Structure 1
Amino acid sequence: MPGVRHDIADQLLPTKMGIEITELDPKRVVATMPVEGNLQPYGLLHGGANATLAETVGSVAAALNAGEDQVALGLELSCTHHRAARSGLVTGVATPLHVGRSTSTFEIVITDEEGHRTCTARLTCIVRERPPGS
């Protein structure tokens, strides 16, 4: 991805959480994340893990929709947790609701391996000029 610093790749939160992007298109970004290793004390997928997956796929989609000399930065994230995930993988799918010159908004649907919706999120990103030298 343009602008990503490869010298810090092993320190990125999505990497630490096991998030893997499986589909990359401006109209649809898909990624998976293991439940194991991302639990809260009751043995359920942590809500913050859902938020990280949602922000990851939404931000990637926003970056794909931004111009080459622009960056997309998260502005607002809202997550509604519908049901618990206890094991396996969850999948996040980001699709655009609005793509404009200065903001873009994406719906992110997270499902478990059985296809049950576990979380619905909405991410709005602000689009800005890429800083010189970045």
Structure 2
Amino acid sequence: MDLQEILATMPFAAKSGVELVSANAGEVVGRLAWSEDVTTTDRIMHGGALTTLADTVGAVSAYLNIPSGASRVTTASNAVFARQVRRGVVTGTARPLHVGRKTVLVSIDIMDEEGRLVSQVTQSHAVLGELGP
């Protein structure tokens, strides 16, 4: 599946402006550009927009680490915000911390264009469906 096909399975993320840059089982990278459409008070990028980026790359990371034929669902997501974003592009990088038979734990770092931490997100995903013997 190519990156556009993966993103097409998540219409909300695509409509929100999230782009996938690269994706493999060890690391998923996406980005989101600042625009007036994704801001809140004082033209600061909305935490929901940052969380959408994190949830997108986190979900793809978990999906790429589950058995063929299984599916996954996010069971928890915890975001810590470190700084505001008023311009530019943020990049989200998701890496699996634990891949088990029934759960996948993913860490996501959202960075600004200067390489500074904007948000750190930890997610857990339940693995659903047939897992095999």
Q: Could you tell me the TM-score, scaled by structure 2's length?
A: 0.88
Partner of 1:68: 68
Q: Distance in 2 between matches of 1:125 and 1:106?
A: 8
Residue 62 of structure 1: SS of its match in structure 2? helix
Partner of 1:28: 27
Hey, which bits of structure 1, 4+ residues long, moved more than 4 A?
none
Question: Could you list the runs of 5+ residues in structure 2 that have no partner in the other structure?
Answer: none
Residue pairs, 1:75-114, within 5 angstroms: 75-114=75-114
Report deviation, 1:21. 0.6
Q: Distance in 2 between matches of 1:26 and 1:91?
A: 18
* Higher normalized helix content (fraction of residues): 2
Q: Distance in 1 between matches of 2:54 and 2:10?
A: 19
Report deviation, 1:41. 2.2
Report deviation, 1:16. 1.0
RMSD: 1.9
Report deviation, 1:11. 7.4
Residue 60 of structure 2: SS of its match in structure 1? helix
Q: Distance in 1 between matches of 2:91 and 2:10?
A: 22
Q: Could you tell me the TM-score, scaled by structure 1's length?
A: 0.87
Report the CA distance shift for 1:124/1:11 in structure 2 as closer, same or farther (over 3 A): closer
Count of aligned positions:
125
Residue 45 of structure 2: SS of its match in structure 1? coil
Residue 55 of structure 2: SS of its match in structure 1? helix
Report deviation, 1:50. 1.2
Report deviation, 1:10. 8.9
Q: Distance in 1 between matches of 2:91 and 2:63?
A: 20
